[in-house]
Amino acid sequence: MGQLTGGDPSLLRRINSAVVLRALRGAQSPTLTDLTRVTGLSRPTVEGVVEGLVNTGLVVEEPAAEGSARRQGRPARRYRFRAEAGYLLGIEIGSHRVSALLSGLDGRIIGAGSKEVSESAPSDERLDKARATVADLLRRAGVPRDSLRAVGVGSPGIVEADGRVRLGTALPGWTGLALGERLRRSFRCPVLVENDANAAAVAEHWKGSATDSDDVVFVLAGLSPGAGSLIGGRLHRGFGGAAGEIGALHLLGRGATPETLLSTTDEPLHPLDEKAVAEVFALAREGDEHAVAAVERFIQRLVHDVAALVLAMDPELVVVGGWAAGLDGVLEPLRRELERYCLRPPRVAQSLLGEAAVATGALRLALDHVEEQLFAVEKTVTARR
Amino acid sequence: MGQLTGGDPSLLRRINSAVVLRALRGAQSPTLTDLTRVTGLSRPTVEGVVEGLVNTGLVVEEPAAEGSARRQGRPARRYRFRAEAGYLLGIEIGSHRVSALLSGLDGRIIGAGSKEVSESAPSDERLDKARATVADLLRRAGVPRDSLRAVGVGSPGIVEADGRVRLGTALPGWTGLALGERLRRSFRCPVLVENDANAAAVAEHWKGSATDSDDVVFVLAGLSPGAGSLIGGRLHRGFGGAAGEIGALHLLGRGATPETLLSTTDEPLHPLDEKAVAEVFALAREGDEHAVAAVERFIQRLVHDVAALVLAMDPELVVVGGWAAGLDGVLEPLRRELERYCLRPPRVAQSLLGEAAVATGALRLALDHVEEQLFAVEKTVTARR
């Protein structure tokens, strides 16, 4: 049984503060009277909380609008949440590209940048590209580095809680890399590292295909698919951060390896050679016999992997992203086969965020971190068995 | 964003009441002074709460023990939680057997009973057996039916929130059965119906092989395996209650059906014919070539299904139960193959509760329901995004 201590008056103050801050963020320059009405708190409580929030710089009194003076007395003071009180970054470190998104404390994106990187680049070079991408972005946006409050990073591989990559075969030198620690040297704020498919799942739930569902499996479809899951709106990382790494399942059968799966010759394809894969799909559309067979193998494998995830997790919705999602003829067979084999087939949708999914999810994780501090209620008062 | 309202004094009272009740359950006849010390609450608060609990019948003042009188004044009053203030049932409805467990409000089992039932029995007969098992058990234990506070039921199939069986191919007439509603007519308390593998997962976590882990996959191993999962100590039912129903996965390949998987002849085995299956395993131990091949097929299938669950969920621990767990040579190959193919292999343990797992889990779910009412803190104050 977890510890649960008796009623704590400072807890009440924190709840009230979080309630007022939420109301401030949700409303258009509310007055103290508005806040009293929305929160159900007493006027003196709201006044005290707002004064405290103004002192921290998170809230500011709005200047009175022209002509808003009431007939009698001065106009009621209006307040607003200062999204510019701090900034957040979402970074994707990918095999071909490093990209970054910048937002204020409201999560609205105010800048973006990216740089190409070779799939064979060593980890130092890849990290340098990430740093350079961020430096460019901050300079262009005129945002000083020390106003960053949190940085989220999405990366391939199994990522430990401290940001170390436990296993990352997709990128050279990635397994064992202390990714979080290395990036923390460039920032004075928390740096949160997350598996790329996990980050993409969070992103689709935030502003993509999954905004209306809390039970989602996001599939990063490629030659070796990965997946991220939300259960009840929360990211399911698994005990060791390896949940959804379904790519190894085919090793148990006598099926093709990822490299031979889509090959139309005896030569294996490089798992990250998206261009060669796209060519196989193009050949298949033209009716090339070997290519058609290869595409069928690829889709069968994807269906099998996704079915395993769906049977294990029973999500409401499957979102398919990654480069393979853009290829013709992937989504329909997937939908049809899941209908056939799953006891309760989920909806299947394509990623809305596409290439931006991982960086967007990384940004959301940074925002989550900051909001947990601003609205730190949940963790404190939840009694767990 | 979920609703979060401001500080609520009645919430504080409820928290305090739950805190005192927990302390009372955890201690050996504590005094008010003991309770004040353990809870950190003030003396008048503890006095008020204990008085309220005595009025509800959940707590009683202990008679002063002989010789416990202090030199000065009368001895301090001692209190105890009344586990006998209500009773709980855990029922398993299985293919060959219906069984039930009885406990007080502390979850300690005070009675058990079971009846055989034919695997081909229609649903009415199976429900009659369940009712008769309960009636016998209550009579033997001397517990009046109207002192039951909650009844948990574990059953094969996908079970909806209201206790209806959405799909249940293992038992005749089970699909579409309003199991919860039918059983509710026999009781005046809440009846909670849960999938059998889910109930077993809860049981192993409560008092079986998984007491030290909160991230567990329980596999009900048989010809068509089912599974239940705990994530962070909580049951993961899936969006439609179908999580873990991994048995359909093989349909996607060109593998054997459950019926032909273990057959050593051209005749398919009935999926519930445990005796025939055990004979195949016995033959394999004697070196029979067909039987050895059949057992290998069976284990490969089980490994594949469990690997799919493990890759999707990434549990800390896999507990194997069901009749196949008792067969020689299932656990070791499973452990070995998971080590080989999973990026982060889980521990693998055999069910400790064996045949009692499902009924024990059903009892725990009934206890959870009652405790949620007694210690109703969590749901009230958790702010969800």
Both B110 and B151 in one domain: the answer is yes
Partner residue facing A4 (CB), from B19, B167, B313: B19
Place of tokens 């008769």: B132
Both B155 and B117 in one domain: the answer is yes
Q: Is A64 on the interface with B (CB under 8 A)?
A: no
What span, in angstroms and rounded, lies between the C-alpha atoms of A380 and A255?
Answer: 49
Q: Is A248 on the interface with B (CB under 8 A)?
A: yes
Task: Give the domain range for residue B46.
Answer: 9-66+75-81
Partner residue facing B313 (CB), from A243, A300, A316: A243
What span, in angstroms and rounded, lies between the C-alpha atoms of B238 and B227?
Answer: 12
The amino acid present at A370, given as its one-letter code, is V
CA A247 from centroid of its chain's CA atoms: 21
* pLDDT one-digit tens code per residue, A115-135: 999 999 999 999 999 999 999
Question: Cβ contact (<8 Å) for A240 and B166?
Answer: no
What span, in angstroms and rounded, lies between the C-alpha atoms of B175 and A102?
Answer: 52
Partner residue facing A343 (CB), from B231, B245, B384: B245
Contacts of A240 in chain B (CB under 8 A): 314, 316, 344
* pLDDT one-digit tens code per residue, A324-337: 777 777 888 889 88
What span, in angstroms and rounded, lies between the C-alpha atoms of A306 and A301?
Answer: 9
Question: Cβ contact (<8 Å) for A4 and B12?
Answer: no
What span, in angstroms and rounded, lies between the C-alpha atoms of B182 and B164?
Answer: 9
Question: Cβ contact (<8 Å) for A343 and B158?
Answer: yes
What span, in angstroms and rounded, lies between the C-alpha atoms of A171 and A120?
Answer: 7
Both B176 and B224 in one domain: the answer is no
Helix (H, G, I), strand (E, B) or coil at B107: coil
Partner residue facing B342 (CB), from A41, A229, A248: A248
CA A19 from centroid of its chain's CA atoms: 25
CA distance to partner chain A, nearest, from residue B159 (Å): 12
Domain boundary among B81, B113, B131: B81
Is residue A62 within 8 Å of residue A74, measured between CB atoms?
A: no
Closest-CA residue to A272 (of A123, A170, A129, A156): A170
Question: Cβ contact (<8 Å) for B315 and A344?
Answer: no
CA distance to partner chain A, nearest, from residue B233 (Å): 8
Contacts of A341 in chain B (CB under 8 A): 248-249, 251-252
CB atoms within 10 A of CB A155: 28
**DSSP 8-state code for residue A277:** H
CB atoms within 10 A of CB B248: 17
Question: Cβ contact (<8 Å) for B307 and A249?
Answer: yes
Closest-CA residue to A301 (of A348, A243, A256): A256
Q: What per-residue confidence (pLDDT) applies to B268?
A: 64
- The token pair at B285 is 């131990």
Contacts of B342 in chain A (CB under 8 A): 242, 248
Both A165 and A190 in one domain: the answer is yes
Helix (H, G, I), strand (E, B) or coil at A74: coil
Residue A385 in any domain: the answer is no
* pLDDT one-digit tens code per residue, B117-141: 999 999 999 999 999 999 999 999 9
- The token pair at A240 is 């060791």
A25-29, A79-83, A324-328, B219-223: range with lowest mean pLDDT:
A324-328
**Residue A271, CA distances (Å) to A71, A277, A322 in order:** 72, 9, 13
Helix (H, G, I), strand (E, B) or coil at A294: helix
CB atoms within 10 A of CB B315: 28
Both A238 and A319 in one domain: the answer is yes
Question: Cβ contact (<8 Å) for A316 and B245?
Answer: no
Question: Cβ contact (<8 Å) for B311 and A248?
Answer: yes
Both A170 and A262 in one domain: the answer is no
Q: Which residue has the higher pLDDT, B140 or A383?
A: B140
Is residue B277 within 8 Å of residue B223, measured between CB atoms?
A: yes
The amino acid present at A128, given as its one-letter code, is D
What span, in angstroms and rounded, lies between the C-alpha atoms of B110 and B83?
Answer: 11
Question: Cβ contact (<8 Å) for A312 and B346?
Answer: no
Domain boundary among A22, A48, A81: A81
R_g of chain A computed on alpha carbons: 24
- The token pair at A350 is 């394509």
What span, in angstroms and rounded, lies between the C-alpha atoms of A272 and B136?
Answer: 65
Q: Is B196 on the interface with A (CB under 8 A)?
A: no
CA A76, A78, A81 angle in degrees (round to 5)? 165
Contacts of A377 in chain B (CB under 8 A): 4, 381, 383
Both A220 and A338 in one domain: the answer is yes
Partner residue facing B383 (CB), from A166, A316, A378: A378
Question: Cβ contact (<8 Å) for B4 and A15?
Answer: yes
CA distance to partner chain B, nearest, from residue A38 (Å): 9
Phi/psi region, residue B29 (left: phi>0; alpha: psi -120 to 50; beta: rest), is left
* pLDDT tier for residue A3 given thresholds of 50, 70 and 90: very low
**Residue B303, CA distances (Å) to B108, B204, B244, B284, B340 in order:** 36, 21, 14, 18, 11
Which residues, at least 6 apart from A255, have a Cβ–Cβ distance to it below 8 Å? A261, A301
Low-confidence ranges of chain B (pLDDT < 50): 1-7, 254, 377-385
Question: Cβ contact (<8 Å) for B248 and A342?
Answer: yes
Residue B263 in any domain: the answer is yes
- The token pair at B212 is 């030290």
What span, in angstroms and rounded, lies between the C-alpha atoms of B291 and B279?
Answer: 9
Place of tokens 């509310």: A30
A85-94, A99-108, A164-173: range with lowest mean pLDDT:
A164-173
Helix (H, G, I), strand (E, B) or coil at B352: coil
Residue A233 in any domain: the answer is yes
CA distance to partner chain B, nearest, from residue A22 (Å): 9
For helices A274-285 and A289-313, the axis angle rounded to 10 degrees is 110
Partner residue facing B39 (CB), from A6, A15, A41: A6
What span, in angstroms and rounded, lies between the C-alpha atoms of A99 and B201?
Answer: 42
Residue B169 in any domain: the answer is yes
Residue A148's DSSP bridge partners are A87
> Is residue A379 exposed (0-12), middle (13-18) or buried (19+ Cβ within 10 Å)?
exposed
Residue B149 in any domain: the answer is yes
Sign of CA dihedral B16, B18, B20, B26: negative
Helix (H, G, I), strand (E, B) or coil at B151: strand
Both A197 and A221 in one domain: the answer is no
Q: Which residue of chain B has the CA closest to A254? A: B253
Both B97 and B183 in one domain: the answer is yes
R_g of chain B computed on alpha carbons: 24
Question: Cβ contact (<8 Å) for A5 and B39?
Answer: yes
Report the CATH number that the domain containing residue A76 is assigned in CATH.
1.10.10.10
What span, in angstroms and rounded, lies between the C-alpha atoms of A16 and A71?
Answer: 33
Is residue A362 within 8 Å of residue A107, measured between CB atoms?
A: no
* pLDDT one-digit tens code per residue, A203-250: 999 999 999 999 999 999 877 788 999 999 999 999 989 999 887 777
- Best of A211, A246, A252, A341 to disrupt the B interface by mutation (most B CBs within 10 Å)? A252
User: In B73-176, at which residue ranges do the beta strands (DSSP E only) sit?
Assistant: 78-81, 87-93, 97-104, 109-116, 148-155, 158-159, 165-167
CA distance to partner chain B, nearest, from residue A110 (Å): 23
- The token pair at A383 is 């009694």
- Best of A24, A38, A344, A373 to disrupt the B interface by mutation (most B CBs within 10 Å)? A344
Which residues, at least 6 apart from B305, have a Cβ–Cβ distance to it below 8 Å? B219, B225, B246, B247, B249, B250
pTM: 0.83
- The strand order across the sheet containing A347-350 reads A234-236, A226-231, A216-220, A317-321, A347-350
Question: Cβ contact (<8 Å) for A26 and B243?
Answer: no
What span, in angstroms and rounded, lies between the C-alpha atoms of A341 and A331?
Answer: 16
The amino acid present at A182, given as its one-letter code, is R
Residue B134 in any domain: the answer is yes
Q: Is B342 on the interface with A (CB under 8 A)?
A: yes
**DSSP 8-state code for residue A261:** H
* pLDDT one-digit tens code per residue, B152-181: 999 999 999 999 999 888 899 999 999 999
**Residue B174, CA distances (Å) to A128, A161, B54, B162 in order:** 61, 44, 44, 15
Place of tokens 């299947």: A348
The amino acid present at A157, given as its one-letter code, is G
How many domains does chain B fold into? 3
Which residues, at least 6 apart from A300, have a Cβ–Cβ distance to it below 8 Å? B252
ipTM over 0.90: no
Report the CATH number that the domain containing residue B103 is assigned in CATH.
3.30.420.40
Both B193 and B131 in one domain: the answer is yes
* Residue ranges of A 134-173 with Cβ closer than 8 A to chain B: 158, 166-167
* Residue ranges of A 285-324 with Cβ closer than 8 A to chain B: 300, 303-304, 307-309, 311-316
CB atoms within 10 A of CB A380: 12
Q: What per-residue confidence (pLDDT) applies to B385?
A: 32
The amino acid present at B199, given as its one-letter code, is A
**DSSP 8-state code for residue A143:** -
Residue A163 in any domain: the answer is yes
In degrees to the nearest 10, what's the CA dihedral of A118, A121, A127, A133? -20
Q: Which residue of chain A has the CA closest to B380? A: A382
- The token pair at B281 is 């395993």
Q: Is A70 on the interface with B (CB under 8 A)?
A: no
Question: Cβ contact (<8 Å) for B308 and A311?
Answer: yes
* Residue ranges of B 359-378 with Cβ closer than 8 A to chain A: 371, 375, 377-378
Residue B385 in any domain: the answer is no
Phi/psi region, residue B261 (left: phi>0; alpha: psi -120 to 50; beta: rest), is alpha
Contacts of A365 in chain B (CB under 8 A): none
Q: Is B384 on the interface with A (CB under 8 A)?
A: yes
What span, in angstroms and rounded, lies between the C-alpha atoms of B73 and B56?
Answer: 29
Sign of CA dihedral B368, B188, B228, B360: positive
What span, in angstroms and rounded, lies between the C-alpha atoms of A314 and A309?
Answer: 8
Closest-CA residue to B230 (of B199, B192, B191, B193): B199
Both B304 and B319 in one domain: the answer is yes
pLDDT at A270 over 70: no
Both B196 and B101 in one domain: the answer is yes
Q: Is A15 on the interface with B (CB under 8 A)?
A: yes
Question: Cβ contact (<8 Å) for A248 and B314?
Answer: no
Which residues, at least 6 apart from A235, have a Cβ–Cβ distance to it below 8 Å? A194, A198, A201, A202, A228, A229
Contacts of A251 in chain B (CB under 8 A): 341
| B284 phi, psi to nearest 5 deg | -65, -40
Which residues, at least 6 apart from A342, have a Cβ–Cβ distance to it below 8 Å? A307, A310, A311, B242, B248
* pLDDT tier for residue A259 given thresholds of 50, 70 and 90: low
